[in-house]
Amino acid sequence: MEPQLIDYYNEMPSGANVIDKMNKEFLELQKKYDKLNKLFNKYRIPCFKVDTVEEYNKYEEKLENFTKNVREIIKDENYGLMSVFYAGGRPVNNLYELFEVYKYKINGTYYYNDEILTIEDKLVDELNKLTEYKNNDWSSYRVRYTLKEVLSNYNVKELSNLDIERVASEITDYLVNADATNIFDPESPIMYCNYIPENCYENEKEYGFGSGPSNYLYNIVYYNCEICNKLSRYGDPKEVDNKLLCEKCHLNTLYPGEY
């Protein structure tokens, strides 16, 4: 920038003032970006890269055990949901409100101790085990959101003839399958952040499978296709001689020449 007459009377050239103001504006933008990025990552769904069918199958076994453990936690006669629901009679509208009031009541006794695990804590722990403790904030939010979405649908008047098997199944299904929400709103982060491994969606959308970001627990494992080497999360290796294939190669293996 060329010197100006006003610079002769100022201690600093006018251009320096402009640069200083621009730097301040940049720092403010950087702070906003860091805050948003931190929030986004807080709700980022964990994903896992596998290299072999054995690793892929091992995750499926872990997911099966996860669903079994969730149902057991919900249905436990002494420490499950029913022990919480029958804890007292404060005026509430639905079972989620009742759960929030009495979730610290375990086997007839109230605990406000970090060493005592509530139902919610146990479910978070199971989800953390499944996802190898990659993102506790995400696990906590997903469990809490699931309980709210499922239990809020039950009026407290239904408690007398509540089908706990049905409730356990609904909570388990919601934890695993989510609600197909693919939009991440930083002001109201629906727990299933729209993260998928890079390129998986682009590699598969042509065939209809890649309809959008996946929030389902059975889609968080991805791999390189054994034929074309593209990243994929398509799965179902048992259908194609236990090979990890993308959708195109999977279909070409099942129906040669048609794709």
User: Domain coordinates of the chain in residue numbers?
Assistant: 50-177, 194-254
Q: Which position has the token pair 């407290």? A: 156
Q: What is the pTM of this model?
A: 0.76
pLDDT at 202 over 50: yes
The fraction of the chain above a pLDDT of 70, given in percent, is 69
For the record, the structure tokens of 9 come out as 């009377």
What is the residue whose two structure tokens read 């290299």?
Answer: 51
What distance in Å separates the CA atoms of residue 176 and residue 219, rounded to the nearest whole number?
A: 10
197 vs 208, higher pLDDT = 197
C-alpha 203/C-alpha 1 separation (Å) is: 49
Would you say residue 241 has pLDDT above 90? yes
Give CA–CA dist 6/237, Å, rounded.
74
Which of the residue ranges 6-20, 116-130, 189-203, 233-247 would you say has the lowest mean pLDDT?
A: 189-203
What mean pLDDT is predicted for residues 200-207?
61
- Confidence band, pLDDT 50/70/90 cuts, at residue 73: very high
Q: Measured at the alpha carbon of residue 183, what is the angle toward residues 179 and 186, in degrees to the nearest 5? A: 115
Considering only residues 65 and 28, tell me which one the structure prediction assigns the higher pLDDT: 65
pLDDT band at 207 (very low <50, low <70, confident <90, very high): low
Q: Distance (Å, rounded) from C-alpha 39 to C-alpha 167?
A: 31
Cα separation, 121 vs 74, in Å, equals 12
- Beta strands at 221-224 and 231-232: parallel, antiparallel or unpaired: antiparallel
Please report which confidence band the pLDDT of residue 85 belongs to, taking 50, 70 and 90 as the band edges: confident
- Is a pLDDT exceeding 90 seen at residue 37? no
Q: Give the pLDDT of residue 238.
A: 93
Q: Which residue has the higher pLDDT, 16 or 249?
A: 249
pLDDT attached to residue 126: 97
- Assign 191 a pLDDT band (cuts: 50, 70, 90): very low
**Residue 74, pLDDT above cutoff 90:** yes
Which of 173-187, 193-207, 241-255 holds the top average pLDDT? 241-255
**Mean pLDDT across the chain:** 79
User: Alpha helices, DSSP H only, in the chain?
Assistant: 14-42, 53-75, 81-85, 95-102, 119-130, 136-151, 164-177, 200-204, 247-254
Give Rg (Cα) of the chain. 26
Residue 26 has pLDDT above 80, yes or no: no
Q: pLDDT tier at 182 (50, 70, 90 boundaries)?
A: very low
pLDDT greater than 60 at residue 175: yes
**What amino acid is encoded at 42 in this protein?**
K
Q: Return the SS3 of 115.
A: coil
Q: What is the pLDDT of residue 250?
A: 93
Quick check: 59 pLDDT over 70? yes
